[in-house]
Structures are given as C-alpha cells and as structure tokens.
Amino acid sequence: MINFERRLMASPYWKTYMKLKGKIKSWNDDKGFGFVELHTGERAFVHIKAFTSRVRRPVNGDVILYDLLRCHNNRYQADKIQFASAHKKSKSGSVVGTLFILIFCVLLAATVLTGKLPVAVAVIYIFMSFVAFIAYAMDKSAARKGRWRTQERTLHLFSLLGGWSGAWFAQNRLRHKSNKTEFKTFYWVTVIVNISAFFYLLSEGGIRFMSHIILFVAR
C-alpha cells in the first residue's frame, strides 16, 4: 500500500480508483474537519461534507474508507468517505436483500404458472420496478445538478404499487437514499404492505376480489 500511494503522488493529476483505509485523527467536531494519516506519513484533509453517509458524526479513531485526492495546493484530501463498519454492513445487507427479492420472484412466478394469479400481476411488478428504478436514477441526477427533485412520497408510492424491488436495486446500485434512516424505514413499510396485499390475493377473499376486477375490465 505504501508503494501504491507513492506512485499515485508522483503523478501531477490523479485520483485513486480504489478505496484506501485509515483512522481519523485530530477531529474538530465544531468545525467539522480532521485528518487521516497516510502510509507515507503525510496527512489527508477530512471534511464532514465528504462523507457519503451522515448517520452519525465522526470521532477520533473512526476507521474510514475513502478516495484520495490531491488538490491544486499539493495537499491531500479524502473524498467519498464511508465508515468501514457501515461498508461491511451494506455488503451483508445487499446479499440479504438480493436473496429476499429472488425468493419473492420465484414465488411470484410459481403463483402465475399455477394459475393462482393472472399474468397481469407479474407484469405490474416488473413494470413498476422498472419505473421505480428510473425514478430513483432521475432523482439522483437532479440532486447532482440542482434541478427539481422527485418527492419522496412519490418514490414510496412506486414501491407500494409493486416497484419495491426496483427501488431496492436503485438504492444499492445507485447509492441513492440508501443511508437515510427515516426514508429506509418508510420504504420497508411499503414493502410489508405490498407483500401483505400479495398474500391477500392468494386467499379466498383475494381470489374473489381478483375475479370481480377481471370481470369489470372484461366488460
């Protein structure tokens, strides 16, 4: 790692393309900045605004993952900072979330193939997941460019209507809304409500309800 950093620093313009790891030192919480020591003995500036997640305030000794930048004044700065513990947690959560979606997709396919639910239900889930993913992508682009944002309740509505799997992939792949605790809590509420509605459709009452809907549409 020492040789890697030295090769990077020898270049006039560079940015690391892998995450470096280090501990925060000399953190001044009132001013919102501190430093992380490089393996070369030099220090990189750490600012609170460079953290990708602000679920808590940094403290001295926190282990962070970061991109290393060299500024015009030849000083070094940490960018796109993550807490190392949060990075590990997000990876494990990503695996669990992917497995959960795969299980649901298998269940959805089985209910459609066995005739318990019409094909239209699967089509709605696929369509709404696509809409949700695009909505998240557009909202992230708007946030970066300072344009009009998509309301959070609109994103939650897409999840509630069946697009929660697309929303989940957008949160994890695009790193958008994935660290806002309140948003994530409400997101999982929409997932629970939607899945509850899904299982209701498999009950006798749900089957009668779907029959009435199909007859109404067929008229």
Condensed to tens digits (0 to 9), the pLDDT of residues 164-211 reads: 999 999 988 887 776 677 898 999 999 999 999 999 999 988 778 777
Residues 52 and 80: beta-carbon distance below 8 Å: yes
Cα gap 7→11, rounded to integer Å: 7
Strand 20-28 relative to strand 33-37: parallel, antiparallel, unpaired? antiparallel
Q: Token pair for residue 72? A: 């015009």
Asked if residue 145 has pLDDT above 90, the reply is no
> What's the pLDDT at 159?
96
Instruction: List Cα–Cα distances, 71 to 7, 45, 66, 189, in angstroms.
Output: 16, 10, 15, 44
Average per-residue pLDDT for the chain? 83
> What's the pLDDT at 177?
79
Domain regions of the chain by residue span? 2-84, 115-218
Residues 131 and 158: beta-carbon distance below 8 Å: yes
**Stronger pLDDT, 180 or 142, i.e. the higher one:** 142
> Which of 50-64, 76-90, 123-137, 174-188 bottoms out in mean pLDDT, i.e. has the lowest?
76-90
Rg (CA), the chain: 23
Closest listed residue to residue 32, CA positions, set 12, 15, 49? 49
> What's the pLDDT at 217?
62
Cα gap 57→69, rounded to integer Å: 22
Which residue is associated with the tokens 């006039």?
Answer: 12
CATH number given to 2-84: 2.40.50.140
Cα gap 60→89, rounded to integer Å: 21
> What's the pLDDT at 12?
45
Condensed to tens digits (0 to 9), the pLDDT of residues 28-74 reads: 887 889 999 887 778 899 998 888 876 677 888 888 889 888 877 77
